[in-house]
Amino acid sequence: MHQVRTTCPYCGVGCGVVADIADGIMTSVDGDREHPANFGRLCVKGSALHETLGEPGRLTRPRVDGREVDWDAALDTVAERLTATRQAHGDEAVAAYLSGQLLTEDYYVANKLFKGFLGTPHLDTNSRLCMASAVAGYKRSFGADAVPSNYEDLEEAELVVLVGSNLAWNHPVIYQRLRTAKARNPLMRVVVIDPRVTDSCEIADLYLGLAPGSDARLFNGLLAFMADKGRLDRVYLEGHADGLDEALAAAREGDASVEAVAAAREGDASVEAVAIDCDLDPEALQTFYYWFASQLHVVTLYSQGINQSSSGTDKCNAIINCHLAGGKIGLPGAGPFSITGQPNAMGGREVGGLANQLAAHMDYDTPGALDRVTRFWATESLTPTLPEGPGHKAVALFEAIERGEVQALWVMATNPAVSLPEANRVRAALAKCPLVIVSECMANTDLIAYADIVLPASSWSEKDGTVTNSERCISRQRGMLPPPGEARHDWWIISQVAKRLGYGEAFDYSHPAEIFDEHARLSGFENDAAARGKGFRLFDISGLAGLDRDGYDALAPIQWPVNAAAPKGTARLFEDGRFATPSGRARLLPVRPRGPAQALDDTRPLRLNTGRVRDQWHTMTRTGRAPRLMNHRAEPFIEVHPEDALAAGLGDQQLARLSGADGDYLGRVRLAKGQRRGEVFVPMHWTDQFSKRARMGGLLSAHLDPFSGQPESKHGAVALDPLQLCWEATLLVAADLTAEAAWRDEATYWSRIPLAHGERWQLAGGETDKGAADLDDWLARLSAWLPVAPTLWCSDPTSGRLRAAGVADGRLRWWLMVGPPAELPGLSWLDERLAEAARGDCLTDDARRRLLAGCASGEADAGPLVCSCHQVGQKSIVAAIQDGDASVEALGARLACGTQCGSCIPELKSLIEESA
Ligand SMILES: Nc1nc2c(c(=O)[nH]1)N[C@H]1C(S)=C(S)[C@@H](COP(=O)(O)OP(=O)(O)OC[C@H]3O[C@@H](n4cnc5c(=O)[nH]c(N)nc54)[C@H](O)[C@@H]3O)O[C@H]1N2
Ligand SMILES: Nc1nc2c(c(=O)[nH]1)N[C@H]1C(S)=C(S)[C@@H](COP(=O)(O)OP(=O)(O)OC[C@H]3O[C@@H](n4cnc5c(=O)[nH]c(N)nc54)[C@H](O)[C@@H]3O)O[C@H]1N2
Ligand code: SF4
Ligand SMILES: [Mo]
């Protein structure tokens, strides 16, 4: 057995991971105690990494037009078809759509090929849906896309403001660090600003449940408050920042567009007026304003509740304004901190992966950039030359495909068929596009159905490269296992295509270390700190240029800039009050708040909020493979305020339909008191691979921020209605019987939930059927669905309940219960019977009886998983609380829940509260 240090491939915290490898298999993972992001901690997704690996479900062979081919044929075809498209329709008919989940080296090579050699500006990334507004906001204020703060600043702050971030679920290790710091420093305060009560509120001293989209008004109000109370830092402003007067004038203008406002309040920035516009209690708002205004050490941490908005850039600047105005930046424990989502969102920004960027923090309009990059890449003699201006941003790119202007698209490591707004329209555009190339690790994704050419990529644990986390820290991901089948590294695939296009010399890489070296050299190329405004870039890692393979392999985590002036990296930016603008001074921006772009009306009266759940990662291609991550939220859901549910005729756990601009969504209602009235929340994770119709991308119209082009994914408009159903059923099937899944076609609703030894399907249907009580109907249905006919069954026609099982050679093959899932007997007990069957063991007589009768009370289903680390379900926890264990510590002592990664502690606390 040996150990390899690497970096987690999920969120932007960028935790160091130590993986144990034995006989070519990763047997376990642990947090790296020496990594500065996590110091040994991991969250539940990180600690389940080894459970998501393995060949089943992976793409292992290249495919062209549905046929498996060898690599030579696949690469030749890519090159031929790209060339044909360019010849027929011009260079700009070719485009790429990349991802913050590519490694920096993959990203660099793709950007170089498309922008540098194919001469098309149309290369964008899913960071457009994620960080684009934060990038634009930083650039407008600081002159560079640079996150000033770091994780330690969060721990050292006296006030931490979480705005539009559910840190507890989405950056769990940083949340745990903050929680620990707060326990150590009783004076530290935490404020959560989010329309929805989230688990992050567990450590909040103050929660502001504002009207969706009203954040700019709130921070404008704060700026006016600081001015009114004499809390501006005049000395800092004089020395280091411009634009206060304009920003303050705009802040005082008030706002008439936020939807909670009944009457326009032009010219009123009093706390009361702002509170009305944001639909907040004035006293609570005033408290926040006092805390912020009177405290120097404030970190405002913001994420998608700010960025994913049609005025996201302005919202970022409204926050940054307050920090600049109070001098709360460039100090330990202070700064406006945009936390990144994807593991390498930051690396993508560094190489220039956004369509408005060229390379290495140079934009098209950066003085001298085009010429400099042309010389660095030695493309002077090429036709075409480098594009001269920005390309299409993500949403516009798919519109260009729809119009037929872009005829060839190469997608790498992202799933636009799910994650873009108007996802059904995106699908139609993809279906129409003459050439769609998809580089992907997994065999079944919604996007692959639209691909003409499928290229199998290596994945985490197989590939080598670097990622940059939220605090500008560059860490190594290290390869330790061979890719399955013929899967290859992304950088290799791109370089091979480049060679076939005739650019062999410029893409003659044999290892990612060489690419990293080139990237590091470009960052420092003609990058003179003395020449601010004349091509100076803050992003400079020239100090890492020239690393040989061993040096690269041994690279320890380090924060950029890394150069001659800062050979050990830079923990915090702007400590000297010098910014990256031509004048060296930061800018406050005038912000005029705008509410959500999507209007509500009688047909779609509810505000749609979308986001993440604790145990899933995006489209679930990896986390969906770990059964223990599937049970926290097993099915697609809709969180609704109890009174809105009542008005719609819906109860908890009932199935319902949301109808939106571009499609609908079927999910199970979760009554949520923390949800505001008139608003619903759905997860972004489910795809056609896991449920019949639960893709949130089809609910949203594309409303874009004018500066960043980022779509407004947080403020849709929907209608909520019950699903009219006659039956609901739970079907458990052995893994080898799931391929056909004939029950899919008959169900109005289905959800697939992988188990350790098979699959669980939640089914519902019969909108026009006569119902579930008829036993003959069910037996016929089951015989049509499954190769093993029902062998055991029992039914209660009066209540419409049925239990049945298929047993072959004495072994359990499937099990069915008609009735709502709330009545499930022990799922893990049933899964264990499937495990027995897989081992060839027969059912005992006792087990046969229990299959029909349900389980003894001790084995009843433990309910939805709360603690994923120790597999503790909600029902067991509630039982323990009722038994007297009414504290997190007591529950931990009895059931072990909450004792490992700590992510479920907020949920434990709310269960204790609810039970009380
Ligand atoms: N478990 C898990 N963790 C992840 C990911 C994942 O898929 N799963 N993805 C990663 C990625 S790529 C990203 S970008 C990050 C995202 O991390 P977050 O930004 O924390 O994630 P979201 O859940 O999308 O949205 C955050 C919050 O914004 C709130 N919000 C909605 N509208 C508004 C508003 O108008 N104002 C305010 N103030 N808040 C609002 C939502 O209610 C939600 O609680 O997470 C990363 N971490
Ligand atoms: N409504 C709504 N929409 C949203 C959001 C929201 O909050 N609400 N959030 C947005 C945000 S912030 C984000 S980041 C996006 C995320 O959305 P996507 O990027 O579309 O989702 P992922 O599932 O992360 O897609 C990554 C794909 O790359 C594959 N992959 C993984 N590693 C590799 C690799 O090394 N190489 C290759 N070639 N493939 C690989 C995975 O199997 C997966 O299919 O969604 C956005 N869309
Ligand atoms: S916090 Fe993020 S980076 Fe750390 S283990 Fe969890 S998912 Fe991975
Ligand atoms: Mo993201």
Q: Is 11 in the pocket of ligand 1 (CB under 6 A)?
A: yes
Å from CA of 107 to ligand 3 middle: 21
Q: Which residues pair with 25 in a beta bridge?
A: 22
Q: Which residues pair with 640 in a beta bridge?
A: 671, 680
Give the three-state DSSP class for 201.
Answer: helix
Q: Is 439 in the pocket of ligand 2 (CB under 6 A)?
A: yes
Q: Is 13 in the pocket of ligand 3 (CB under 6 A)?
A: yes
Give the three-state DSSP class for 896.
Answer: coil
Q: Which residues pair with 754 in a beta bridge?
A: 759
Å from CA of 160 to ligand 4 middle: 22
Q: Is 621 in the pocket of ligand 2 (CB under 6 A)?
A: yes
Nearest CA to ligand 2 atom 20: 415
Choose the residue to mutate in 18, 45, 346 for probing ligand 3, maximizing ligand atoms within 8 Å of C-beta.
Answer: 45
- CA distance linking residue 902 with residue 10, whole number of Å: 18
- CA geometry: angle at 175 spanning 539 and 902, to 5°? 140
Residue whose C-alpha is closest to residue 231's, from 218, 219, 222: 222
Nearest CA to ligand 2 atom 14: 130
Phi first, then psi: what are they for 711, rounded to 5°? Answer: -75, 155
Beta-carbon neighbour count of residue 767 at 10 Å?
11
Q: Give the ligand whose atoms come closest to the C-alpha of residue 14.
A: 3
Nearest CA to ligand 1 atom 15: 341
Q: Tokens standing for 502?
A: 């005739």
User: Do residues 540 and 560 touch, judged by C-beta distance below 8 A?
Assistant: yes
Domains in the chain, start-ordered, CATH in brackets? 63-128+344-428+458-559 (3.40.50.740), 132-338 (3.40.228.10), 606-722 (2.40.40.20), 727-849 (no CATH), 865-915 (1.10.10.1100)
Q: Is 683 in the pocket of ligand 1 (CB under 6 A)?
A: no
Q: Is 44 in the pocket of ligand 3 (CB under 6 A)?
A: no
Q: Is 419 in the pocket of ligand 2 (CB under 6 A)?
A: yes
pLDDT of residue 281: 97
pLDDT of residue 255: 59
Using the structure block, give the residue that is written with the tokens 């992304």.
Answer: 490
Residue whose C-alpha is closest to residue 371's, from 557, 526, 184, 592: 526
Residue whose C-alpha is closest to residue 36's, from 205, 155, 168: 155
Atom of ligand 1 nearest to the CA of 130: 14
pLDDT of residue 773: 58
Choose the residue to mutate in 8, 10, 11 for probing ligand 1, maximizing ligand atoms within 8 Å of C-beta.
Answer: 11
- Regarding beta strands 792-796 and 801-808, do their DSSP bridges make them parallel or antiparallel, or are they unpaired? antiparallel
Q: Is 415 in the pocket of ligand 2 (CB under 6 A)?
A: yes
In which band, very low, low, confident or very high, does the pLDDT at 257 lie, cut at 50, 70 and 90?
low
pLDDT, tens digit (0-9, with 9 covering 90-100), for 796-806: 877 778 899 99
Burial of 106 from C-beta contacts in 10 A (0-12 / 13-18 / 19+)? buried
Q: Is 11 in the pocket of ligand 3 (CB under 6 A)?
A: yes
User: Do residues 513 and 493 touch, judged by C-beta distance below 8 A?
Assistant: no
Phi first, then psi: what are they for 133, rounded to 5°? Answer: -70, -40
Å from CA of 413 to ligand 2 middle: 7
Nearest CA to ligand 1 atom 42: 196
pLDDT, tens digit (0-9, with 9 covering 90-100), for 673-700: 999 999 999 999 999 999 999 999 999 9
- CA distance linking residue 414 with residue 757, whole number of Å: 29
pLDDT, tens digit (0-9, with 9 covering 90-100), for 606-632: 999 999 999 999 999 999 988 888 888
Å from CA of 170 to ligand 1 middle: 7
Buried b (16+ CB within 10 A) or exposed e, 896-907: ebbbbbbbbbbb
Atom of ligand 2 nearest to the CA of 100: 14
> Which residues, at least 6 apart from 230, have a Cβ–Cβ distance to it below 8 Å?
none
pLDDT of residue 823: 72
Q: Is 618 in the pocket of ligand 2 (CB under 6 A)?
A: yes
- CA geometry: angle at 873 spanning 870 and 875, to 5°? 150
Q: Which residues pair with 189 in a beta bridge?
A: 159
The full DSSP string for 605-623 is -EEEEEE--TT--TT-TTG
Query: E strand or H helix at 866, and its extent?
Result: strand 865-867
**How many C-alpha atoms does 585 have within 13 Å on its Cβ side?**
14
E strand residue ranges, 489-592: 558-559, 586-587
Q: Tokens standing for 400?
A: 């260009």
Give the three-state DSSP class for 807.
Answer: strand
Q: Is 15 in the pocket of ligand 3 (CB under 6 A)?
A: yes
In which band, very low, low, confident or very high, does the pLDDT at 858 lie, cut at 50, 70 and 90?
very low
Phi first, then psi: what are they for 558, rounded to 5°? Answer: -150, 140
- CA distance linking residue 260 with residue 246, whole number of Å: 26
pLDDT of residue 340: 96
How far apart, in Å, are the Cα atoms of 554 and each of 474, 547, 551, 644?
A: 12, 10, 5, 56
Å from CA of 308 to ligand 4 middle: 10
- CA distance linking residue 59 with residue 77, whole number of Å: 18
User: Do residues 793 and 775 touch, judged by C-beta distance below 8 A?
Assistant: yes
Question: Left if phi > 0, otherwise alpha if psi is -120 to 50, otherwise beta: which for 136?
Answer: alpha
- CA distance linking residue 861 with residue 858, whole number of Å: 9
Nearest CA to ligand 2 atom 33: 413
Nearest CA to ligand 1 atom 4: 170
Q: Tokens standing for 688?
A: 């056609």
Q: Is 672 in the pocket of ligand 1 (CB under 6 A)?
A: no
Query: E strand or H helix at 298, and its extent?
Result: strand 298-302
pLDDT of residue 860: 62
Q: Tokens standing for 429?
A: 């555009």
Q: Is 307 in the pocket of ligand 2 (CB under 6 A)?
A: no
pLDDT of residue 234: 97
Å from CA of 495 to ligand 1 middle: 35
- CA distance linking residue 166 with residue 145, whole number of Å: 23
pLDDT of residue 163: 98
How far apart, in Å, are the Cα atoms of 182 and each of 178, 188, 302, 900?
A: 6, 6, 19, 19
Beta-carbon neighbour count of residue 595 at 10 Å?
24
Q: Is 441 in the pocket of ligand 2 (CB under 6 A)?
A: yes
Q: Is 901 in the pocket of ligand 3 (CB under 6 A)?
A: no
Q: Tokens standing for 20?
A: 């144990």
Choose the residue to mutate in 135, 170, 339 for probing ligand 1, maximizing ligand atoms within 8 Å of C-beta.
Answer: 170
pLDDT of residue 661: 85
Q: Is 342 in the pocket of ligand 1 (CB under 6 A)?
A: yes
What is the amino acid identity at position 481? Answer: L
User: What's the predicted TM-score (pTM) here?
Assistant: 0.95
Å from CA of 44 to ligand 3 middle: 8
Å from CA of 343 to ligand 3 middle: 9
User: Do residues 703 and 661 touch, judged by C-beta distance below 8 A?
Assistant: no
pLDDT, tens digit (0-9, with 9 covering 90-100), for 346-371: 999 999 999 999 999 999 999 899 99
> Which residues, at least 6 apart from 241, have a Cβ–Cβ distance to it below 8 Å?
324, 325, 585, 586, 587, 588
User: Do residues 670 and 634 touch, judged by C-beta distance below 8 A?
Assistant: no
Beta-carbon neighbour count of residue 269 at 10 Å?
24
Q: Over the Cα atoms of the chain, what is R_g?
A: 28
Give how far the C-alpha of residue 681 lies from the chain's centroid of Cα atoms, to the nearest Å: 15
pLDDT, tens digit (0-9, with 9 covering 90-100), for 497-556: 999 999 999 999 999 999 999 999 999 999 987 776 677 899 999 999 999 999 999 999
Mean pLDDT of the chain: 93
The predicted model gives 891-900 an average pLDDT of 92
Choose the residue to mutate in 98, 99, 165 for probing ligand 2, maximizing ligand atoms within 8 Å of C-beta.
Answer: 99
The predicted model gives 424-450 an average pLDDT of 97
3-state DSSP: the chain helix, strand, coil percent, rounded to 5?
Answer: 35, 20, 45
- CA distance linking residue 751 with residue 749, whole number of Å: 7
- CA distance linking residue 422 with residue 394, whole number of Å: 12
- CA distance linking residue 751 with residue 804, whole number of Å: 20
pLDDT, tens digit (0-9, with 9 covering 90-100), for 550-578: 999 999 999 999 999 999 999 999 999 99
- CA distance linking residue 312 with residue 320, whole number of Å: 12
In which band, very low, low, confident or very high, does the pLDDT at 602 lie, cut at 50, 70 and 90?
very high
User: Do residues 122 and 94 touch, judged by C-beta distance below 8 A?
Assistant: yes
Nearest CA to ligand 1 atom 12: 341
